[in-house]
Amino acid sequence: MKRPTSSSLSYILPALSLSFVPPGVFGKPISRTTKCTQAQHPGPSNPSFETGDLTGWQVLSGTAFGNSSVTALTSYWGGPFNQKGKYFVDSFVASGDPAIGQLRSESFRASSYLSFLIGGGYDPVNLYVGLVRDSDGALLVSQTGMNDEALIRIIWDTSAWAGQNVHLLVYDNNSGSSWAHINIDDVRTGCNALQDDNGLTFTVFGEANQPATGSSPSCNLYAADVVRPQYHYTPYQGWINDPAGLIQWNGQHHLFSQFYPDAPLWGPMHWSHATSPDAVHWAELPAALYPPYPNNPQDTSGRWTGSAVNDSQNRLHLVFTDFTDLAFHPGATEQVVSTATSSDGTSYSLYPQNPVIGTVPPNSGNGFRDPKVFHDPTDNSWKLVVGSGDGSQGKVHLYRSTDLLSWTYVGVLFEGDGFTGSMWECPNFFPVGNKWVLFYGGRSLGWFEVGTYNGTSFTSETRGLLDAGPDSYAMQWYQDAAGRNLAITWLGNWPTSKWPSRLNGWAGQQSITRELFIRPDGGLGSRPIPELASLEQSGNAKSWTQKTVGDTAIVLGHTTTARLRLTVDVPSASATSFSIRLFSSSAEFVLVSYNFATRILTLDTSNAGYGQTGQWQPVVVPGSDGKLSLDIFLDRSTLEIFSSDGVVTSARVYPRYQESQDITIEASGHIVFDSISLTPLGSSWC
Ligand code: FRU
């Protein structure tokens, strides 16, 4: 992400008469044992706007702020605002998004820490809450919003300026019509900046707390960010979505992702690139593909999702969607298929005669994208599936090639009935045993179809969800050297506006590597690959056998980077249900429960902090031996729950408090679990 630089701020400076202090003074993670008592001074008056107006604050300019921008609204389209007390400031409510303006607090002496709640649009240059030194007008530190309304706490280490006179500047210079406002509430200083009124310690958010780096991720860098997954792939700064180009090539697993490095938002697409010897430990490589018009960030043309194969010259051969932004290139074909190759796996050359498929087949009005190449044993050729849709139903087109460069249209492999959406993205097609599996994204969900294939068309027998949770999309399959069917899915989803990690400069993450298999009921199942055991810190593991659980909660441990496994013999359980609390404290928790009668597993994030809230309820069935196992991966802000029948349920979780790490279990009734184990997991980057 681009933090404001002195040059990007220069056109603001004359108006504000500010000078800019580079963010390098930050970078030390804020721990719970702090120096908060060293410098404690009162903050500005009316810190939470509980007067219901701007008493104590001063409108410097514009119409975005005024007494009517202090609001008592409690909810918006995406849920509650989560203000502290009754009121907060929202630069939208007085005069709408296009209004601009500046609001400042009273001057106060800087303490060692300062925190406040922020919401609103992402625009580090034009929308922020800043700390300004009175003596020289220097903008010491600033924080922009995350394109969501709900308020999240930002914490700054302000000890470098302790005792100096400063003020807060709420700055809205964005006159756009969408996400062009900023929300603020509850300014706190000193130790109160780190803890709430009940003594719980706030989770530390804020771009200023991210150590500066130009280099690859490392365990220390990633450990410093308390919401950063430790063993799920994330971009250090910027945005990722779909995994792409998955392949094991010359021994190494390659993971590419849709990537926009300049902001934690979708933008002109690059392909980020990481490799791994075991599909667990990743090393970051330079981006593999870049958008075609990098000099104009408004032009969203980019290299969209695609796939990788090993070609006849043992090159890593990428086949992807070349997307052209028609607003800047009228008359172009918006989505075509292009290719790039690499002999060393690191640097990629675009094929000079791109595109390799430049004409969109008939009845593809909703789109034509995400080519996935596979070797088809039915005629020993290369085939490619590509997502599409027309009118009311999604479809998958099939192409054939012998050289990966010249492609012949075979026809529509399969089309839907509208239930799974009108545009299918990211299709994958591959044999498993004597069946063929087709999966794709539609209606913001990942769907599988298991059935049969005659060389030109597919007949579906069983349909289901690839992941029962809210945060999986654009899964991609690949076959490794051992012949396993592996997959990685993007743990993000479009419908939610909850992307709290944007406040730390990044958004999006990939799942752990999953192995796919056909379940006894004919559906597609997932399980974690065994290589994940290499992350286990077994010396600190806890395990129980024949563990009795009743209606008093048992604390199993206190961690958010771990693997929790349990097995129960369902016929012998006399309880009606059991429930597990994760990311739990007195203030919040994620609830995972299982009802023996209905066989419904419930993932409930209604009380789980800043992330998306809701309930997701797949049916999970015990094995023929009566056993049911759950294999739960927690990774700071990520949760993946694998059930023994192959159902997986994933969600992103952002606790508000650092204490929210308890893992507890209880039952309504009496259960003897065959086994329970809780094993801390290490980092993919160490
Ligand atoms: C799915 C998707 C793909 C497209 C890519 C663009 O998430 O919309 O269809 O290729 O993302 O980033």
What is the reported pLDDT for 19? 39
What is the reported pLDDT for 7? 28
Sequence-separated (6 or more) residues with CB below 8 Å from residue 653: 582, 583, 590, 605, 608, 609, 611, 637, 638, 639
Measure the CA–CA gap between 623 and 491, rounded to whole angstroms. Answer: 28
Q: Identify which of 289, 304, 496 to mutate to test ligand 1's pocket (most ligand atoms within 8 A of the CB).
A: 304
CB-count burial class (<10 Å; 0-12, 13-18, 19+) for 329: middle
Strands 506-507 and 238-249: parallel
Indicate whether 415 and 434 sit together in one domain. Answer: yes
What is the reported pLDDT for 142? 98
CA of 647 to the centre of ligand 1 (A): 24
Indicate whether 315 and 462 sit together in one domain. Answer: yes
CB-count burial class (<10 Å; 0-12, 13-18, 19+) for 196: middle
Examine residue 214 and state whether it is found in any structural domain, yes or no.
Answer: no
Domain closes at, from 469, 500, 530: 530
Reduced to 3 states (helix: H, G, I; strand: E, B; else coil), residue 86 is coil
Indicate whether 372 and 276 sit together in one domain. Answer: yes
> Mean pLDDT, 10 residues at a time, over the chain (686 residues)?
27 31 44 77 98 98 97 97 98 94 98 98 98 98 98 97 98 97 98 95 95 75 92 96 98 98 97 98 96 93 98 97 98 98 98 98 95 96 97 95 97 97 98 97 97 98 98 98 98 90 97 97 97 96 97 97 98 95 98 98 97 97 97 98 98 97 96 98 94
CA of 611 to the centre of ligand 1 (A): 23
Examine residue 614 and state whether it is found in any structural domain, yes or no.
Answer: yes
Examine residue 12 and state whether it is found in any structural domain, yes or no.
Answer: no
Examine residue 10 and state whether it is found in any structural domain, yes or no.
Answer: no
The parent domain of residue 318 ranges over 219-530
Indicate whether 522 and 548 sit together in one domain. Answer: no
Q: Tokens 């607090």 — which residue?
A: 105
Sequence-separated (6 or more) residues with CB below 8 Å from residue 51: 70, 87
Is the CB of residue 241 below 6 angstroms from any atom belonging to ligand 1?
A: yes
Is the CB of residue 369 below 6 angstroms from any atom belonging to ligand 1?
A: yes
CA of 121 to the centre of ligand 1 (A): 23
What is the reported pLDDT for 11? 23
DSSP letters of 30-54? Answer: P-SS--TTTS-----SSTT-TTSS-
CA of 488 to the centre of ligand 1 (A): 15
Examine residue 14 and state whether it is found in any structural domain, yes or no.
Answer: no
The atom of ligand 1 lying closest to the CA of 266 is: 12
Is the CB of residue 676 below 6 angstroms from any atom belonging to ligand 1?
A: no
Is the CB of residue 305 below 6 angstroms from any atom belonging to ligand 1?
A: yes
Domain closes at, from 502, 530, 558: 530
What is the reported pLDDT for 2? 29
Indicate whether 285 and 402 sit together in one domain. Answer: yes
Nearest to 78 by CA among 677, 565, 498: 498
Indicate whether 522 and 551 sit together in one domain. Answer: no
CATH, residue 33 = 2.60.120.260
Is the CB of residue 342 below 6 angstroms from any atom belonging to ligand 1?
A: no
Q: Is 185 left (phi over 0), alpha (psi -120 to 50) or beta?
A: beta
H or E element: which one contains 221? Answer: helix 219-223
CA contacts within 13 A on the Cβ side of 358: 7
DSSP class of residue 242 equals E
Is-contact 272 256, C-beta < 8 A?
A: yes
Domain closes at, from 501, 530, 559: 530
CATH, residue 453 = 2.115.10.20
Examine residue 391 and state whether it is found in any structural domain, yes or no.
Answer: yes
Q: Identify which of 240, 242, 428, 488 to mutate to test ligand 1's pocket (most ligand atoms within 8 A of the CB).
A: 242
Indicate whether 519 and 604 sit together in one domain. Answer: no
What is the reported pLDDT for 29? 56
DSSP letters of 140-188? Answer: EEEE---SEEEEEEEEEE-GGGTTSEEEEEEEE----SSS--EEEEEEE
Indicate whether 585 and 495 sit together in one domain. Answer: no
Is the CB of residue 386 below 6 angstroms from any atom belonging to ligand 1?
A: no
Sequence-separated (6 or more) residues with CB below 8 Å from residue 343: 313, 314, 315, 316
Is-contact 656 535, C-beta < 8 A?
A: no
Rounded to the nearest 5°, which phi and psi values hold at 603?
-105, 120
Indicate whether 461 and 323 sit together in one domain. Answer: yes
Indicate whether 91 and 131 sit together in one domain. Answer: yes
Measure the CA–CA gap between 201 and 526, rounded to whole angstroms. Answer: 37
Indicate whether 517 and 545 sit together in one domain. Answer: no
Domain count, the chain: 3
Examine residue 18 and state whether it is found in any structural domain, yes or no.
Answer: no
Q: Identify which of 289, 337, 426, 496 to mutate to test ligand 1's pocket (most ligand atoms within 8 A of the CB).
A: 426
Is the CB of residue 322 below 6 angstroms from any atom belonging to ligand 1?
A: no
Q: Identify which of 369, 388, 444, 471 to mutate to test ligand 1's pocket (most ligand atoms within 8 A of the CB).
A: 369
Indicate whether 197 and 232 sit together in one domain. Answer: no
Measure the CA–CA gap between 662 and 559, rounded to whole angstroms. Answer: 6
Examine residue 4 and state whether it is found in any structural domain, yes or no.
Answer: no
Which residue pairs, CB below 8 angstroms and at least 24 apart, start in 364-367?
364/388, 364/389, 364/390, 364/395, 364/397, 365/389, 365/390, 365/391, 366/390, 366/391, 366/394, 366/422, 366/423, 367/335, 367/423, 367/425
Measure the CA–CA gap between 97 and 92, rounded to whole angstroms. Answer: 5
Tokens of 264: 């934690």
Is the CB of residue 269 below 6 angstroms from any atom belonging to ligand 1?
A: yes
**Residue at 137: amino acid letter:** G
CATH, residue 620 = 2.60.120.560
Sequence-separated (6 or more) residues with CB below 8 Å from residue 241: 257, 258, 266, 473, 474, 490, 492, 508
CA of 217 to the centre of ligand 1 (A): 25
Is the CB of residue 244 below 6 angstroms from any atom belonging to ligand 1?
A: no
Is the CB of residue 475 below 6 angstroms from any atom belonging to ligand 1?
A: no
